[in-house]
Amino acid sequence: MSAGTIGSIICIGRSGNTYTRQAWFTDAAGANMRFDQGAGVSATLGETFTTFPEDVAITDIVITTTATPAATTFRLTLDGAPTSQMFVVAGQLTSVAFRPPLRLPIPAGRRLGGIMTT
């Protein structure tokens, strides 16, 4: 991610609905991920959080394969506070045939975000 890259966070709601949020994964440690709110997403476009209308579970995090990332890990946040959920960027790339299955609960209305860590 020499200048950042786009990816998706895929969730399934309690109702069975699927929610996909496009996200920008920057290459700068300490920088927030950005989420598409309808106008696209980039290093400067989009919000630093996303919300869901119902309780969901994150089932996959997919990052577009690019050059070697400068920031190699990221941590999810809820309402601006870091969670214990930390991921290695290389494990979430589209080129990885078997990404680990996820089932991370996110309550309705909570602000899901992420921060690049190292």
Looking at the 3D structure of the chain, how many domains does it have? 1
**Ordered DSSP codes for 105-117:** EE-TT--EEEEE-
Confidence of residue 70 (pLDDT cuts 50, 70, 90): low
Which of 55, 58, 52 lies closest to 15, judged by CA?
55
DSSP 31: P
Q: Determine the pLDDT at residue 60.
A: 96
| Mean pLDDT confidence for 70-85 | 92
Q: Determine the pLDDT at residue 82.
A: 96
Confidence of residue 1 (pLDDT cuts 50, 70, 90): very low
Percent of the chain with pLDDT over 70: 94
Q: What is the pLDDT of residues 99-114, one digit of tens each?
A: 888 999 999 999 999 9
Give, in order, the Cα–Cα distances in Å from 84 to each of 7, 16, 37, 45, 87. Answer: 21, 26, 25, 27, 10
Whole-model pTM: value is 0.90
Q: Is the pLDDT of residue 6 over 60?
A: yes
Under a CB-based contact definition with an 8 Å cutoff, are residues 64 and 94 in contact? yes
50: left (phi over 0), alpha (psi -120 to 50) or beta: beta
Range of the structural domain that residue 105 is part of: 5-116
Phi and psi at residue 92, to the nearest 5°: -110, 5
